[in-house]
Amino acid sequence: MQNERIATYEEFWPHYLSEHRDPISRRMHFVGTSGFLASCVATAAINPIGFSLASLGFAAIFKDGMKKEGQKPSLPHVLGMVALPSMVSPIFTAGVVWAYGWAWAGHFLVEKNKPATFGYPLWSLFSDFKMYGHMLQGRLWSGDPLEALGLVNDRAATAKPNGARATA
């Protein structure tokens, strides 16, 4: 069923990678995430105590939201996660805009699909950092990410280019 919600993060990860098949899109995500991380460093340098406290709140909200993402996307979690560090410095907010600008451009202009963050904002954020980690280790810069990570037999391998799953 096409509107069926993915129930677990373990199922979501291959789906996320299937939405990032084009290496150019993954590279755009890398640029966006790098800029976001730079905004975090700058925010921490400007206000180390405030950013540390905001980061603790961010982590608590994120942890709670990750548990609930399989049931429904949680806009209140996302808003809370962005609001806390944004109160410390507008540089953090600029980093969020930078990251999503690059990522969404990769989806709309390169992949020609809808970002997974629209339906799974927290799992997508976690997956973006997971993909970033793989890229820091020299993986996923080219080729198919599902093949590169040995996930070609997962259900995401049958995903259609527009993000809809193929039916058997």
Q: How far apart are CA 155 and CA 79, in angstroms?
A: 31
For the chain, what are the domain ranges?
Answer: 28-158
Please compute the mean of the pLDDT values over residues 75-91 and round it to a whole number. Answer: 94
Quote the tokens at residue 78: 């996302």
pLDDT at 164: 42
Beta bridge partners of 165: 159
Using CA atoms, how far residue 58 sits from 26, 117, 165, 166, in Å, is: 25, 17, 32, 36
For residue range 125-146, what is the model confidence (pLDDT) as tens digits?
Answer: 999 999 999 999 999 999 999 9
- Does the pLDDT of residue 105 top 90, yes or no? yes
% the chain with pLDDT above 70: 89
Q: How far apart are CA 96 and CA 21, in angstroms?
A: 23
**103 and 115 Cβ atoms separated by less than 8 Å:** yes
pLDDT at 3: 66
Quote the tokens at residue 3: 């509107």
Using CA atoms, how far residue 16 sits from 9, 46, 60, 90, 124, in Å, is: 10, 34, 23, 29, 7
Look up the pTM and report it: 0.86
For tokens 């199922």, the residue is: 11
Instruction: Give Cα 24 to chain centroid, integer Å.
Output: 16
For residue range 43-60, what is the model confidence (pLDDT) as tens digits?
Answer: 999 999 999 999 999 999
